[in-house]
Amino acid sequence: MTIDDRDRRPGGEPRRMAPKPGARQTSRDLERYAGLFAARTRVMKSSAMRDLMALTERADIISLAGGLPDTSSFPAESFAAIMGTVALDSTARSLQYGPTEGLAVLKTCIAEVMAEEGMTVDPDDVLVTTGGQQVIDLVCKTLIDPGDVIIAEGPTYPGAVPTFCSYQAEVIQISLDEDGMRIDELEATLERLDREGRRPKFIYTVPTFQNPAGTTMSLPRRRRLVEVARERELLVLEDNPYGLMRYEGDPLPTLYALDGGDFVIYLGTFSKILSPGVRLGWSVGPRPVLEKMNIGKQASDLCSSSLTQLFVAAYFASGRWQDYVHSLREIYRRRRDVMLDALAECLVGGRDEFRWTHPQGGIFVWVTLPDYIDTTDLLARALDEHVAFVPGRAAFLDGRGASSMRLNFSGVGEADIREGIRRIGEVVREQVELYGTLTGSHRIVAPQPEPAPAPADQQLADVLHLPRPPDRRRQRPGAREG
Amino acid sequence: MTRVAVLKGGRSLERQVSLKSGARVQDALERLGHDVVGIDVGHDLVDRLRAAAPDVAFVALHGRDGEDGTVQELLEALGIAYTGSGVSACIRCADKVLAKHHMLDAGIPTPDFFAFNETAFKELGAADALPAIEERLQFPIVVKPSGQGSALGIKFAAAPKDVPGALVAAFSYGDKVLLEHHIDGRDLAVSILDGEVLPVVEAVPREEDFYDFEARYVIGRTEFVCPAQLPEEITVRAQELALEVWHVLGCRGFARVDLMLGAATGELTVLEANTVPGMTETSLLPLAADAAGVGFDALIARIVELAL
C-alpha cells in the first residue's frame, strides 16, 4: 500500500470532498441548454466521425475527403472586372433586398444552364435558392412531418443526411449498382410500404455522377423511375450538381426532362460550374410545391444574396460561361484518370477484393474494401500517414458503408492524387496483411509494378493526358468495377 | 495577475474535444482575472511559448502529445510551470497497458487482460495464441487501442470470428492493443483534486450500448448521476481505489480514475487513469467538482494555483 498518511483523516478514511447538501445531479451548463434542445436537433451523424473529419482539413494532409471544386483557376482579373461592373452599374440594387424567388436577370441565366442539358424552362418558374443545399432543406420543410418517409439512394449525398434528420424523417435507402439506383429494389420497397399503409413523401436521387458513388442512373431506369412516380403519384427530388461535368459517354435526359413537370422537382446549382462561394442554386418543379417552398424560403432567409446574383448574371453577360465549364472539365477529367490509374496500381488484390466505381463525370470515386476493414478506423490510421478520405458510413443512415470510402479528385492536383492513393494503398495493404496474419490466411499484397512502356509512337503523346491503351483495364484482374 | 498559456487543440484524434476543453478553461481564466493566451499547439509551440512568456501553462490537450508526457517534457525543458501531472505519471497513465501493470503490481484490481503490439502478430505468430487468450479471458472481450482516449477504437468481440476485425480496427489507432474481459456493469468515475477525492460520478448512456464517444460528448445522450447512487461502502471503496491509483501512478494536481462496478460480482475494478481529463460541458471531473461545491471557475483557479 502506498497511500500517503496525509491523505487520511484520523479515523483512517481517505480525505474527500463531500457532496454539498442537495447537490444537483448535472452540471449547470448541461441543465441550461440540453433540456431545451428540440428533438429535431438530435443528429444521426456520428460526432466521432465529425471530429475525425475536422482533422482532414490540416494543411499537411493530402485530403481526398473534400468535395471542393477547383476555384483556383478562375481568373482574378475577370473576377475583379465583373465585381467592378456590378458595383458601378447596380450599386444600390446589389446592396438591397431582392424578391424571395430571385432576380429575373439570374433566372434567365438559369434557364440557359438548363437548356444546355436539354431542358426548357420558363424563367418565371424558377426559384432561386441559397445554394443547392437550401433546395433540399425547403423540400423537407414543405413536405416532411416527423416520421414521414424519404426514399434515398444507399449511399446518398452525405450533406443531405443532417437535413433529413433535422426534419425527423425516416429515411429508407435503396442500393446502387453500376447503373444507379436499383429500381427493382425501389419497387419492392414501395410495395412493402404499401402493405404497411405508408407512402414516402418523396424520393431523393442524384442520378448523374452521384455524390458519393460516381454512378449514373441508366436511361431505362430513369424512364422506369419516372413511370413509377406517375403511377404512384410520388414526388422525386432530382439533385443534379454535376450534369455538365461529363468526361465520356453521351448525356442522358434528366428525370425532369422525361417527366414533363408533374412529379419531378429539379435541383440545380452554380457551385460546380461556376463557384460554390456565391451560394446560389435553384429549383423548378410542380407549381404548388414551388409556391410552398418560396414561402418557406422567405421564412428562412428572406431572399438570396442580391450581390452574388448580380455577379453571376454579369458573369454570364460578359462572355461564354461554357468556356469555364469546359476548362474545369479538362482539369477534372485528367485528375479522374490519374486517380483511377493510381487505384489500379495501388489496390491490387484477388477477384473483387477491392472494387471502385468508374465515374463518367462528376468529382468522386467510391471504393469498397473487404468487409473486415472499417474505413472510419482506417481514417484514423490514414491521418497518421497524412492522407484523408470520407468514410462510407457518412453516406448511410443505417450503419452500412462501413467498408467503403469516398475519394474526391477535383480538390487536389495530379501529383497529390497519385501520392494520396499510394498512401491509402499502403495503409489498406497493412490492414489486409494483418487480417491475413490474424486469421491464418497469410498474404503479402504488393503494389502492381509499372506497366511496360508504351510503343514508341504513343510515347510522343502529351504525358499530361495519360494516354490509355483501350483494353488495358480488361486485362487487369481484380480492378475497377462500375 | 498571472499570465496563463492554455495549450489546446494539437494533432491528436481528440483535437476537437481539446478545443472545447481549452475554450472553457480560457473563459474561466479570463473571468478569474488572469492574463490568458490560448495556444493551438503546432510546429511553432516553442516560439509561441517564448513570446507569451507565461507564468504557467494550462495543459488542456487530450491524447497524443498532450497527455502522454510529450508536452510536459517540453515545458520542463523550457522551465515553464504547468498544470497537472508530470512527465512520468503521464507516461504511466497514457499507456493503459503500462498503467494496468503498475496496478497489478500494487494489488489494485483491474480486469484480466492481454496486451500485444503489432510485431507480436507479425513476427511471433501471436495469432496462433488467440484461442488460448480467448479461453483465458472469456467472451465478451473488449479490444482497445492502448494509447487512445475518448473511447475511440474500442470494439467488442462476442465470438472468435469477431476478434481479428476488432484487432485490425484497434491497431488503426496505435501499435499496442489491449484485450480485456468485458465487465458488464456500471461506469463510475472518481476524480481527484490535489489528493482529495471528489464525489463519484456515474455515467449512464441513454441510447448507446456503452459509454462510447457519442455518449461522452453529445449533450443529452448520457445521464450523469453525481453523487452516484451507491451503497456507502462501495462509494468509499471506489474512492480508496482511485486514491491508490493516484499514488501508484504518481499523479499530481488533478486526474480522473475510471472504474467498473461489476453487475454479476458486485466488485470494483479499475479501468484506467486520465491525467488530462476533459473539461467540456459533458465532462466528468467538472461535474464532480460542482457536486462538491467547487464551481468550474473555482476548479480552474485551484488547478492553476497548484501548478505555481
Is residue A465 predicted with pLDDT exceeding 50? no
Residues in chain B with CB shorter than 8 Å from the CB of A443 are none
Burial of residue B2 (CB within 10 Å: 0-12, 13-18, 19+) is middle
Which of A17, A23, A433 faces B196 most closely, judged by CB atoms? A17
For residue A78, tell me if it sits in a domain.
no
Burial A407-441 (b: 16+ CB within 10 A, else e): bbbbbbbbebbbbbbbbbbbbbbbbbbbbbbbbee
Asked if pLDDT for residue A398 goes beyond 70, the answer is yes
Q: What is the pLDDT of residue A37?
A: 81
Residue B245 has pLDDT above 90, yes or no: yes
**Which residue in B95, B217, B252, B253 is the catalytic one?**
B217
Q: Same domain for A53 and A201? A: no
Q: Which residues of chain A make contact with B167, given a CB cutoff of 8 A?
A: 434, 438
Kindly report which listed range (A24-38, A93-107, B247-261, B268-282) carries the lowest average pLDDT score: A24-38
Q: What is the DSSP string of A129-163?
A: ESHHHHHHHHHHHHHPPTT-EEEEEES--TTHHHH
Q: Are residues A331 and A312 in the same domain?
A: no
C-beta atoms of A47 and B217 within 8 A = yes
Residue B308 lies in a domain: no
Domain match, B237 and B101 both: yes
CA angle B278, B174, A446 (to 5 degrees): 150
Note whether residue B305 is domain-resident: no
Q: How confident is the model at residue A480 (pLDDT cuts 50, 70, 90)?
A: very low
Whether residues B196 and B284 share a domain: the answer is: yes
Structurally, how many domains does chain B consist of?
Answer: 3
In this predicted structure, the answer to whether residue A461 has a pLDDT above a threshold of 90 is no
**Residues A119 and A224 placed together within one structural domain of the fold:** yes
- Any idea what DSSP says for residue A90? S
Q: Which residues contact A418 (CB under 8 A, 6 or more apart)?
A: A338, A342
Are residue A359 and residue A443 in the same domain, yes or no?
yes
Q: Residue A166: what are its φ and ψ, rounded to 5°?
A: -70, -15
Chain A contacts of B227, Cβ < 8 Å?
A: 19, 23
Q: Mean of the pLDDT values across residues A336-351?
A: 95
Computed from CA positions of residues A107, A110, A115, A118, in that sequence, does the dihedral angle turn out positive or negative? negative
Comparison of pLDDT for A15 and A406, the residue scoring more: A406
**Of the candidates A351, A355, A344, A362, the residue with the CA atom closest to the CA atom of residue A421:** A344
DSSP B276: S
Contact check, Cβ <8 Å, A17/B197:
yes
Question: Are B168 and A434 within 8 A, CB to CB?
Answer: yes
Domain edge (last residue) among B148, B181, B214: B181
A203-212, B101-110, B208-217: range with lowest mean pLDDT: B208-217
Pairing status of strand B56-59 against strand B81-82: parallel
* The pLDDT value given to residue B208: 75
Q: Centre a 10 Å sphere on the Cβ of residue A233 and count the other Cβ atoms it contains.
A: 9
Confidence of residue B196 (pLDDT cuts 50, 70, 90): very high
- Percent share of chain B, pLDDT over 90: 87
Catalytic residue among B85, B150, B191, B283: B150
CA distances from A468 to A24, A101, A451, A464, A465 (A): 69, 47, 12, 12, 9
Of B127, B129, B61, B120, nearest to B94 by C-alpha is B61
- Residue of chain B nearest A382, judged by CA positions: B172
Mutant choice from B17, B172, B251 vs A, greatest count of A C-beta within 10 A: B172
**Residue (of B230, B245, B222) closest to B103 by Cα position:** B245
Output the domain CATH number for residue A368: 3.90.1150.10
Catalytic site includes residue B79: no
Only one residue has cell 497518421, namely A384
Is A242 a domain residue? yes
The whole-angstrom separation of Cα B303 and Cα A143 is 53
Look at residues A389, A391, A400 and name the one whose alpha carbon lies nearest to residue A343.
Answer: A389
Positive or negative CA dihedral for A414, A373, A55, A33? positive
**CA torsion through residues B286, B291, B294, B296, sign:** positive
What pLDDT is recorded for position A206?
Answer: 98
B67 touches B14 (CB < 8 A): no
Residues B100 and B197 both lie in one domain: yes
* pLDDT tens digit sequence for A178-221: 999 999 999 999 999 999 999 999 999 999 999 999 999 999 99
- As beta bridge partners, residue A366 has A406
Sequence-distant (≥ 6) Cβ neighbours of residue B66 within 8 angstroms: B7, B10, B12, B18, B41, B59, B60, B276
State the pairing for strand pair A264-269/A235-239.
parallel
pLDDT at A467 over 60: no
Segment B211-223 mean pLDDT: 76
pLDDT for B221: 75
For residue B123, indicate whether it is catalytic.
no
Place of cell 510529450: B70
Measure the CA–CA gap between B132 and B145, rounded to whole angstroms: 20
What pLDDT shows up at residue A475?
38
Model confidence at A53, pLDDT cuts 50, 70, 90, reads confident
Considering the domain architecture, whether residues B223 and B97 belong to the same structural domain is answered as yes
Which pLDDT belongs to residue A479? 40
Above 50 in pLDDT, residue A459? no
B189 assigned to some structural domain? yes
> What range does the domain containing B122 cover?
113-181
Tell whether B169 and B139 lie within a shared domain: yes
Which among A2, A4, A9, A17 is the top mutation candidate for probing chain B, defined by the most B β-carbons within 10 Å of its own β-carbon? A17
Domain final residue pick, A318, A353, A384: A318
Do the domain assignments include residue A17? no
Task: Flag the least confident range among A110-114, A330-334, B210-214, B264-268.
Answer: B210-214
- The residue type of B269 is T
At A48 the pLDDT is 78
What ipTM was estimated for this complex? Answer: 0.90
Question: Three-class SS of residue B24?
Answer: helix
Q: Which residues contact residue B101 at a Cβ distance below 8 angstroms, ignoring those fewer than 6 apart?
A: none
What is the percent of chain A with per-residue pLDDT over 70, rounded to a whole number?
85
Q: How sure is the predictor about A43, in pLDDT bands with cuts at 50, 70 and 90? A: low
Min mean pLDDT across A228-237, A447-456, B44-53, B124-133 is at A447-456
Q: Cβ atoms within 10 A of the Cβ of A244, count?
A: 21
| pLDDT tens-digit readout, B11-58 | 999 999 999 999 999 999 999 999 999 999 999 999 999 999 999 999
Averaged pLDDT of chain A: 88
In this prediction, residue A41 carries a pLDDT of 83
| Secondary structure class of A173 (helix, strand, coil) | strand
For residue B285, being part of any structural domain is answered with yes
CATH of the domain at B66: 3.40.50.20
pLDDT at B81 over 60: yes
Q: In terms of pLDDT, which residue wins out, A66 or B80?
A: B80
Residues A108 and A152 in one domain: yes
Q: pLDDT tens digit string along B57-69?
A: 999 999 999 999 9
Could you tell me if B60 and B18 are in contact, meaning their C-beta atoms sit under 8 angstroms apart? yes
Give the range of the structural domain holding residue A147, as residue numbers without chain letter: 93-318
* Minimum CA–CA partner of A58 in chain B: B11
pLDDT of residue A29: 58
Q: Are residues A150 and A241 in the same domain?
A: yes
A351 vs A26, A223, A370, A430, CA distance in Å?
A: 54, 33, 11, 19
Candidates B11, B14, B168, partner chain A, best to mutate (most A CBs within 10 A): B168
In this predicted structure, the answer to whether residue A466 has a pLDDT above a threshold of 60 is no
Q: What is the CA radius of gyration of chain B?
A: 19
Are A229 and A221 contacting, i.e. CB atoms less than 8 angstroms apart?
no
- In this prediction, what percent of chain B has a pLDDT beyond 70? 99
Interatomic CA distance for residues A284 and A266, integer angstroms? 5
Judged by CB atoms closer than 8 Å, whether chains meet at B193 and A17 is answered as: yes
Predicted confidence (pLDDT) at residue A238 exceeds the cutoff of 50:
yes
Cell of A421: 492513393
Amino acid at B136: R
Distance to chain A for B248, nearest Cα, Å: 7
In this predicted structure, the answer to whether residue A4 has a pLDDT above a threshold of 50 is no
Distance of CA A107 to the CA centre of its chain: 25
